[in-house]
Amino acid sequence: MSPSVLLWAHPVVTPHSLAGRQATLHMESGGEFIPPTAGPADIRAATIRSNLSAMPSLDPTDWRDLRSLGHRMLDDMFDHLAGLAEGPVWQPMPTDLRQELRAPLPRAPSDPAAAYEQFRRLVFPYATGNLHPAFMGWVHGGGTAIGMLAELLSGGLNANLGGRDHAPIEVERQVIAWAAEMLGLPATAAGVLVTGTSMANLIGVLTARIHLLGAGGRRTGMGDVRLTAYASAAAHGCIPRAMEIAGIGRDSLRMVPCDAGGRMRLDALAGAVRQDQRAGMTPFLVVGTAGTVDIGAVDDLAGLAGFCAEEALWFHVDAAFGAIAMLAPKLRPLLRGIERADSVGFDFHKWAQVPYDAGCFVTRTAEPLLATFAGDAAYLRRESRGLAGGGIWPCDLGPDLSRGFRALKVWLTLMVYGADAIGAAVQQSCDLAQRLAARVDDTPELERLAPVALNIVCFRYRAGAAALDALNAAIVADLQEEGVAAPSTTVLDGRLAIRAAIVNHRTRPEDIDALIQGVLTRGRARSMRAA
């Protein structure tokens, strides 16, 4: 056993072992002498005293080894961040290492340094790759060194932000106020940090539902009311899923057709609402999208806000990544109307570069959230003073009771870099997207498949033989497996597209050029082999 393991192991004396030692007993940890005349009650009492004094804490008794290991971990991570571009974007985890990870529940302690070596060998080299400048798949943020350090600090505090009166909750309130300021929502705005926009959008649906039904709906459910909601045909899959989870059902979500730019058609929305009203349905919610997942289109938010105001419908905006474009002065006008939303869901872990996970839900005032989520359990009784004070608790504003200190990494990111630098990174992504779109348009072997409103470019290699979908899927898998670049794919109008979503603040023009070159090289090679 290594010295550091010994530091963590404490002896526990059992009644059995005491009985076996009968006459004279010198307790190992308590040093307590038990005379030969001691009866069972004396032995039991001594056992309890002994066990308590030998109770294991998970803290080491000597911190030196752990401290130096912690410093090494930090150095390793800084080295990793500083050298990101030198390594592959991603590499698949070998089967034997996957197998090695599968082990029975460890009952005995391990040396922390040895456990860390396991992490370095089995986990560290095979992560998603989204920190790498050439990662352009899905919508993944790149994270920052400050965000990483914030995770260390919040882990150290281990605060529970479900409620009570403490500074970490004040930090989250500040972050929510900054979110509202960024979006142009009123100073009365309230909200919570959540895992991601999927959860934020679910909160939007739940809140809109209770807003329509009234607080009684929490007891009775929907009764005979047949609710209907509306989102564009390009809305993210978490919106129908939220309808399912809310018990309203995905069939009650009308997927409204889009215009050529991928934006919800207002005339089609109005038509769908009218039709449902005539059929005895109760429209309650419109979800606008600021940055559709496939192509980054932004709905006419001002138009939607006006329509919802006229029809008394709850207006929620899914601004998963688009919200952060509010920090880029040239892009901000695209989102005009978001400031009139009843609620907004978005992520700090995408374009704001905060490490996972950091979603956010904001609404204009706390009341609709309180009506939807507040509880009165005796064990969560609020007081006007002491630790159980502190005003509205976050657990009354969302579905979670225990909640981590996500707010710290958002707070530190915005404090250290400043909102303008985050906005500049957003603008840079969009400029790079324009560069990529221009390169695609100038290359006859490539074809662009969608307009570029923000940071997403969908295109494909078109010079191959007939099976272009399979060819383009293979090109993307080649690029990923070779560690060259990591775009993802989607299907637009029935055609498989290579989809590059530029989100990472580290991505540079040369990464865009390497993506183009990589697609062309692999497209040509595969086409030649197929010919």
Ligand X SMILES: Cc1ncc(COP(=O)(O)O)c(C=O)c1O
Q: Quote the least distance from Cβ 345 to ligand X, whole Å.
A: 7
- CA–CA gap between residue 489 and residue 523 (Å, rounded): 15
Six-digit token pair at 460? 């494909």
Q: Going by DSSP bridges, is the β-strand pair 359-363/343-347 parallel, antiparallel, or unpaired?
A: antiparallel
The residue (of 25 and 430) whose beta carbon lies closer to ligand X is 430
Q: Going by DSSP bridges, is the β-strand pair 359-363/446-448 parallel, antiparallel, or unpaired?
A: unpaired
Q: Quote the least distance from Cβ 320 to ligand X, whole Å.
A: 3
289 scored as a contact of ligand X (CB under 6 A): yes
The residue (of 198 and 252) whose beta carbon lies closer to ligand X is 198
- CA–CA gap between residue 3 and residue 111 (Å, rounded): 8
**Residue in 203, 208, 238, 352 binding ligand X, rule: CB under 6 A:** 238
**Residue in 318, 396, 478, 511 binding ligand X, rule: CB under 6 A:** 318
Q: Quote the least distance from Cβ 289 to ligand X, whole Å.
A: 6
Q: Give the side-chain half-sphere CA count within 13 A for 252.
A: 25
359 scored as a contact of ligand X (CB under 6 A): yes
Q: Quote the least distance from Cβ 199 to ligand X, whole Å.
A: 7
320 scored as a contact of ligand X (CB under 6 A): yes
Residue facing ligand X at closest CB distance: 196
232 scored as a contact of ligand X (CB under 6 A): no
The residue (of 139 and 264) whose beta carbon lies closer to ligand X is 139
Q: Output the CA torsion sign for 67, 72, 73, 78.
A: positive
Six-digit token pair at 22? 């009968």
> What residues have CB less than 8 Å from 34, skipping those under 6 apart?
18, 24, 25, 27, 42, 43, 46
**Residue in 134, 139, 242, 476 binding ligand X, rule: CB under 6 A:** 139
Q: Quote the least distance from Cβ 239 to ligand X, whole Å.
A: 8
Six-digit token pair at 360? 């956010």
Q: What angle separates helix 266-278 from helix 301-311, to the nearest 10 degrees?
A: 20
Question: For residue 141, which of 332, 331, 321, 406 has the smallest C-alpha distance?
Answer: 321
**Residue in 147, 291, 394, 398 binding ligand X, rule: CB under 6 A:** 291
Own/partner pairs, 391-395, CB within 8 angstroms, 24+ separation? 392/190, 392/366, 393/162, 393/163, 393/164, 393/169, 394/161, 394/162, 394/163, 394/169, 394/172, 394/192, 395/162, 395/163
299 scored as a contact of ligand X (CB under 6 A): no
Site map 183..222 versus ligand X, x via CB under 6 A: -------------xxx------------------------
Q: Quote the least distance from Cβ 152 to ligand X, whole Å.
A: 23
347 scored as a contact of ligand X (CB under 6 A): yes
Rounded to the nearest 5 degrees, what angle is found at the Cα of 73, between the Cα atoms of 68 and 79? Answer: 125
The residue (of 204 and 518) whose beta carbon lies closer to ligand X is 204
The residue (of 4 and 292) whose beta carbon lies closer to ligand X is 292
- Summarize as ranges the residues that interact with ligand X (CB under 6 A): 139, 196-198, 236, 238, 289, 291-293, 318, 320-321, 347, 359
